[in-house]
Structure 1
Amino acid sequence: MIDYRMSYLINRPDKVGYTIQEINEITGLSPETVIDQLGKLNEQLQQFSYEPISWEKDRIYFSKQVADKWLELHFGKLETEIVYSEYERQALLYLLTFIAEEDLSVYHYQEFLQVSKNTILADIKKLRKQLTKQKISLDYSRKSGFYLSGCEEDIRIQAHQMIAKVVSSVSGKWGLKKGLIKYSKTVEADVRSYFFEAIKASELVIVPSRIEETIYFMAYVLRRAKTCSFRLDTQAKDTLKELNAFNGSQLFLAEFPEILEPENEQFYFTLIFMTITQGEIRDTALEFLLECASQIIHEMERLAAIEFKAYRKLLLDLFYHLVPAFFRIKYRFSLANVLTEEIKEQYVELFALTKIALHPLEMLIGQAIPDEEVGYFTILFGGEIGNQRELNRVIRYKALVLCPSGISSSLIMQSELKELFPTIDFSLTTTVDQLESISESEYDVIFSSVPLNTLKKIYLVNPIMSQLEKNNLIRCVQEDLLIPGIVVPSIDEIIEILLPYIELKKGVTKEKMYRILNRKMIKKLKAKEDEKPMLSELLTIDMIQLTDKKLNWEEAIAYAAQPLKTHGKITEDYIEAMIQKVKDYGAFIHIGKGIALPHARPEDGVKQLGMSLLKVEEPVFLLDDPKHEIAIFICLAAIDNEMHLKALASLTKILSNKENLEKLLAANDQETIIQLLKEGESL
């Protein structure tokens, strides 16, 4: 693409010559970059048979076509090649109305989207139906044309959701730029330039993956803010005013004096800044979120029965992510996370535990946490759990991991790669700019989620890989780098090996064989990976006890753990360690609703993975504290941080279901408990 800063040239009179130095001053691009951009621009002009750039006496002249056909030159595509999807048409129709400064008619929509009148009328009907659910209406009057009615906050949030979705496609981005160019040829460039200046001056750190949608959203809101204003309540204003981002918002909006109510918009743009800004530990106004991050970590440790060794590092990583997430959720800014379904599928147990561990954030905000946000926290915890594996390895190669999708995706990608290739030393980088600042002598290969122009060996991978993708990547890396291990042949290779020795039945083709083998391999690989036992597989009848004895809390833990000791899964030392942990750290094993989960570290005396359950008739008070009344003790003997997660995820489902929990607490025999556990697994 042609650099967006070159658009500053199309806002000037044509047939006026410029020197390289003048273009440098107008665009802010270096002389070398200007020359490179002029070359690219000329190539596009010639490709589309437009009048090329001319040089006369060291001055450069641009034809009127450079301005008229700017979008085609910028994207390297003719407008006739742009086809909007139905959703994109309706989103752009909404956004055109969102920033309209003129009376809009069906004809205006037709002309912009280059479709028939009937298509526009059908889109308007469908859009109105969707907007009704958001309490927004697309109204029409002869005097004013089409306009949006409803709460201004709802109208803006709807615009943000639409921009976040359409910005990911070429046609969507084309439409967004076209909508802005209609009013100003340089507004996008201005927003980008002043935004980065404000970010730098305020010393804010932004999440790279959210920049594009935010730039366009701010540009569209700036247009709307010329005629419509948005007001926050006093309490929200007081909170926002204390943030470093408020200063950034003021600096940014000072460049756009034409908005209707600049003082009110300063608060709204502070919100926008905060939705993509990583937490800053020096920002004292955010201390409440640092405390929330600490509570979430402790909740995860309690629920998953694990201990994060690098606690401070995890606390900071979680805080960095929690800050923008808090503002997104509280003020309903959508998060377009295309990985959500994959995360829920591949990290089922961890997702379920994370959702519950986020309770402190839920209480702070006063609303449920969307699955898209839960997904990002899941891979943050997943990456940390993966990083805690102790790997005795000989490092032979150094690799960079590049994933611009944010810190959470980067961590999970790095963690998965470490598991696949224990003989490679991985270093993390989250932006292309960071990569460019690292000497090539410091790494041998790159694993990236985005294409790169580099002389180094590069492997393109998804942040979360399917089983088949992992298998193919292992094979490629082993072949290229000669890493010891068994190379699994590809499906193509298997078929090519078999074909000379088999006779295909009528109607069976090579392609059909490939599809069948592909499905079989994915099924086998999933079955192989999914070795984590279920709750009912661990809590068998010989691991469940009921008693009417009156026990103190130490006796109850020891009693509950006896089946594990009897079956050789733990030693006596482990029982003592579980009791000592409660003495050292308090009633942390109380996971709520009368359930306690005693556990210690694997190295404290675990021989095999196991769980045992004790139901007491006489309630037991942990640490003799009536606030921690326990009816059921479930002892966990974990061999690592992961094998027991499926069982614990099922347990949390049971505890979260009021009816099942009541049945469990009322059960008076082992068979009933086992049946309830099995039912809980299918929730």
Structure 2
Amino acid sequence: MIDYRMSYLINRVQRVGYTIQEISEITGLSTEAVIDQLGKLNEQLQRFSYAQICWEEDKIYFTKQVSDKWLELHFGVQETEIFYSEHERQALLYLLTFIAEEDLSVYHYQEFFRVSKNTILADIKKLRFYLAKQQITLEYSRKTGFYLLGREAQIRIQAHQMISKLVASIPGKWGLKKGLMKYSKIFEADVRSYLFETIKASELVIVPSRIEETIYFMAYVLRRTKRHSFRLDGHAEAILKELNAFSASQRFLAQFPEMVTIENEQGYFALILMTITQGEIRDTALEFLLECASQIIHEMERLAAVEFKAYRKLLLDLFYHLVPAFFRIKYHFALANVLTEEIKEQYGELFTLTKTALHPLEVLIGKKIPDEEVGYFTILFGGEIGNQRELNRVIRYKALVLCPSGISSSLIMQSELKELFPTIDFSLTTTVDQLESISESDYDVIFSSVPLDTSKKNYLVNPIMSQLEKNNLIRSVQEDLLIPGIVVPSIDEIIETLLPYIELKRGVTKEKMYRILNRKMIKKLKVKEDEKPMLSELLTTEMIQLTDKKLTWEEAIAYAAQPLKNKGKITEDYIEAMIQKVKDYGAFIHIGKGIALPHARPEDGVKQLGMSLLKVEEPVLLLDDPKHDITIFICLAAVDNEMHLKALASLTKILSNKENLEKLLTAKDQATIIQLLKEGESL
């Protein structure tokens, strides 16, 4: 694409020549960048058979077509090739109405989309039906044309949701730019430039993957403020006033005095900034979120029976992510996360545990956490669990991991790469700016989720890869860097190797075999998932006990662990370690609803993965505390931080189902307990 700053030239008078230096001053680009951009502009003009830029002596002259066809030149696509989907048309129709400064009619919509009157009428009908569910109406009067009616906060949130989806496609972004250019050819460029200046001056750390949607949302809200001002409630604004983002909002809005009353909108724009700003530990007003992050980590440790060794680092990483998530969830700013379903499929058990561990955040906000947000927290924890694996590695290459989608995606990407390439030493970077500040002598190769223009060897990868993508990446890296190990053969090589030794059935061709193998390899990674035993596979009849004996809490833990010891899965030392953990750290093993999960570290005496269950007739008071009355003890002997997670995820689902939980707590025999465990696995 042509750099957005070149748009400052399209407002200039035609037939006036400019020197390279003058263009540099107008656009803010370096002279080298200006020359490069002029070359790209001429290439696009030539490709579309438009009159090219003229060079006379040391002056450059721009033709009228540079202004008239700016969108085509910017995107490298002619308008006749832009086709909006039905959903894109309806979203843009809403946004055009959202910023309308004139009386809008059906004709205006027709002209914008280049479609028939019937198409627009059908879009309006469907849009009205959708908006009614959001308590918004699209009204029309002969005097004022089309306009939106409803709570201003809800009208803006709906605009944000639509923009978030539109920025994902070229037609969507084209429509967003075109909508703004109806009023000013350089307004979007101004918003973009002033926002970047504000971020830099205020030292805000922005999640790069959210910046594009935020620029457009700010631009559309700014245009709306000319006729529809809005102020947050006093409580929300009081919280925001304590934050760095509030002064940043004032600084930004000061650039648009003709459009906005700063006092009215400063809180709202501070809120927008907070939804994309990583937490700042120095902001004392955010200490409540630091405490919440700590509670979430302890919940995760309790539910997943893991101990995070790098606690402080995880606390800060979680806090950085929690801050924008808190403001997004609390104020209904939807997060478009295309990885959610993939995360659920590949990290299902961790997703379940994370969703439960986020209970402190739910209490703080007073509402359920959307799955899209749970997904990002899941990969944050998944990355940390993966990073805790102790590998005896011989470091041969140094690699950078670049993933601008945020720290959560970066961590999971780094973790997956470490598992694939144990002989590479990986360092994490989350922005292209960070990459530019690192000396090339400090790394040999780059793994990036975005395309890069670099002289270093680099691989383009998804934060979460399918098995086929992993296979192809392993092959490429091994071929390029000669890393010792088994090279994963390609599908072609597998088929060519097998063909001399097999006889194909009638109707089966080499191409058919290729398609079948390809489908098998494209299936999401399930091998590791399948290796993890289910709850019912661990808690078999011989591992379940019921007793009417009156026991102390120490006796109950020892009694519950006996089947594990009898099977040689743990030593006596492990039983003592589980009891000592409770004495040292309190009733952390109480995971709620009368169920306790005693466990210790693998090195304390675990020989093999296992679980055992004891149900007592008379509740046992953990640490002799009436607040911790336990009916069921489930002893866990974990060999690492991951193999037991599927089983614990099933247990968490059972705890979340009141009916199944009640049946479990009142069960009278082993068969009933096993049946309930199996039912819990299918929830």
**Common fold, TM-score beyond 0.5?**
yes
Q: Give 1:84 shift.
A: 1.1
Instruction: Give the conservation status (yes or no) of the 8 Å contact 2:466–2:524.
Output: no
Matched, 1:530 2:543: no
Most deviating of 111-120 and 495-504: 495-504
**Unaligned residue ranges in structure 2 (runs of 5+):** none
Residues 1:524 and 1:161: Cα distance change in structure 2 (over 3 Å)? closer
TM-score by length of 2: 0.98
Paired position in structure 2 for 1:114: 114
1:496-575 correspondence runs (5 A): 496-499=496-499, 507-521=507-521, 526-527=526-527, 529-575=529-575
Q: Give 1:502 shift.
A: 5.8
1:618-633 correspondence runs (5 A): 618-633=618-633
Q: Give 1:520 shift.
A: 3.6
Paired position in structure 2 for 1:678: 678
Paired position in structure 1 for 2:330: 330
Q: Aligned equivalents of 1:359 and 1:582: distance in 2? A: 23
1:633-652 correspondence runs (5 A): 633-652=633-652
Q: Aligned equivalents of 1:65 and 1:632: distance in 2? A: 77
Q: Give 1:363 shift.
A: 0.4
Paired position in structure 2 for 1:590: 590
Task: Provide, for residues 532-555 of structure 1, a one-character-per-residue CA deviation record: whole Å limited to 9, x for no partner.
Answer: 000011111111111111111111
Three-state SS of the structure 2 residue aligned to 1:418 is: helix
* Superposition misfits of 4+ residues, deviation over 6 angstroms: none
Most deviating of 449-458 and 155-164: 449-458
Instruction: Give the conservation status (yes or no) of the 8 Å contact 2:346–2:529.
Output: no
Task: Provide, for residues 462-500 of structure 1, a one-character-per-residue CA deviation record: whole Å limited to 9, x for no partner.
Answer: 110112221222222222222222222111222234456
Q: Give 1:79 shift.
A: 0.8
Q: Aligned equivalents of 1:22 and 1:522: distance in 2? A: 53
Three-state SS of the structure 2 residue aligned to 1:530 is: helix
Paired position in structure 2 for 1:181: 181
Three-state SS of the structure 1 residue aligned to 2:471 is: helix
Q: Aligned equivalents of 2:529 and 2:374: distance in 1? A: 23
Three-state SS of the structure 2 residue aligned to 1:549 is: coil
Task: Provide, for residues 39-71 of structure 1, a one-character-per-residue CA deviation record: whole Å limited to 9, x for no partner.
Answer: 211222222222222223422221221111111
Residues 1:45 and 1:642: Cα distance change in structure 2 (over 3 Å)? same
Residues 1:668 and 1:674: Cα distance change in structure 2 (over 3 Å)? same
- Partner AA of 1:377 in structure 2: F
1:221-620 correspondence runs (5 A): 221-499=221-499, 507-521=507-521, 526-527=526-527, 529-620=529-620
Instruction: Give the conservation status (yes or no) of the 8 Å contact 1:214–1:272.
Output: yes
Q: Give 1:521 shift.
A: 4.2
Task: Provide, for residues 623-650 of structure 1, a one-character-per-residue CA deviation record: whole Å limited to 9, x for no partner.
Answer: 1111111111111110000000000000
Q: Aligned equivalents of 1:525 and 1:43: distance in 2? A: 44
Q: Aligned equivalents of 2:250 and 2:631: distance in 1? A: 56
Instruction: Give the conservation status (yes or no) of the 8 Å contact 1:167–1:212.
Output: yes
Instruction: Give the conservation status (yes or no) of the 8 Å contact 1:293–1:319.
Output: yes
1:42-53 correspondence runs (5 A): 42-53=42-53
Task: Provide, for residues 152-178 of structure 1, a one-character-per-residue CA deviation record: whole Å limited to 9, x for no partner.
Answer: 111111110111111011111111101
Q: Aligned equivalents of 1:302 and 1:68: distance in 2? A: 62
Paired position in structure 1 for 2:83: 83
Instruction: Give the conservation status (yes or no) of the 8 Å contact 1:379–1:412.
Output: yes
Q: Aligned equivalents of 2:493 and 2:359: distance in 1? A: 49
Instruction: Give the conservation status (yes or no) of the 8 Å contact 1:98–1:148.
Output: yes
Q: Give 1:529 shift.
A: 4.9
Q: Give 1:240 shift.
A: 1.0
Instruction: Give the conservation status (yes or no) of the 8 Å contact 1:402–1:446.
Output: yes
Three-state SS of the structure 1 residue aligned to 2:531 is: coil
Instruction: Give the conservation status (yes or no) of the 8 Å contact 1:227–1:260.
Output: no
1:12-161 correspondence runs (5 A): 12-161=12-161
Most deviating of 427-436 and 573-582: 427-436
- Partner AA of 1:670 in structure 2: Q
Residues 1:69 and 1:652: Cα distance change in structure 2 (over 3 Å)? same
Residues 1:194 and 1:523: Cα distance change in structure 2 (over 3 Å)? closer
Paired position in structure 1 for 2:202: 202
Q: Aligned equivalents of 2:250 and 2:328: distance in 1? A: 20
Q: Aligned equivalents of 1:523 and 1:255: distance in 2? A: 51
Instruction: Give the conservation status (yes or no) of the 8 Å contact 1:17–1:59.
Output: yes
- Partner AA of 2:252 in structure 1: F
Instruction: Give the conservation status (yes or no) of the 8 Å contact 1:136–1:149.
Output: yes
Residues 1:231 and 1:346: Cα distance change in structure 2 (over 3 Å)? same
Indicate the RMSD between aligned Cα atoms, in angstroms: 1.5
Q: Aligned equivalents of 1:366 and 1:25: distance in 2? A: 51
- Partner AA of 2:549 in structure 1: K
Q: Give 1:525 shift.
A: 6.2
Three-state SS of the structure 2 residue aligned to 1:454 is: coil
- Partner AA of 1:516 in structure 2: I
Instruction: Give the conservation status (yes or no) of the 8 Å contact 1:228–1:260.
Output: no
Q: Give 1:239 shift.
A: 0.7
Three-state SS of the structure 1 residue aligned to 2:612 is: strand
Q: Aligned equivalents of 1:300 and 1:245: distance in 2? A: 30
Q: Aligned equivalents of 2:508 and 2:102: distance in 1? A: 62
- Partner AA of 1:21 in structure 2: Q
- Partner AA of 1:223 in structure 2: R
Percentage of matched positions with identical amino acids: 87
Task: Provide, for residues 307-346 of structure 1, a one-character-per-residue CA deviation record: whole Å limited to 9, x for no partner.
Answer: 0000000000000000000000000001110000000000
Q: Give 1:523 shift.
A: 6.2
Q: Give 1:283 shift.
A: 0.4
TM-score by length of 1: 0.98
Q: Give 1:512 shift.
A: 2.2
Instruction: Give the conservation status (yes or no) of the 8 Å contact 1:561–1:635.
Output: yes
Paired position in structure 2 for 1:667: 667
Residues 1:254 and 1:630: Cα distance change in structure 2 (over 3 Å)? same
Instruction: Give the conservation status (yes or no) of the 8 Å contact 1:429–1:435.
Output: yes
Instruction: Give the conservation status (yes or no) of the 8 Å contact 2:467–2:524.
Output: no
Three-state SS of the structure 2 residue aligned to 1:109 is: helix
Most deviating of 541-550 and 273-282: 541-550
Residues 1:525 and 1:157: Cα distance change in structure 2 (over 3 Å)? closer
Q: Aligned equivalents of 2:376 and 2:626: distance in 1? A: 37
Q: Give 1:259 shift.
A: 3.0
Q: Aligned equivalents of 2:597 and 2:504: distance in 1? A: 57
Most deviating of 490-499 and 249-258: 490-499
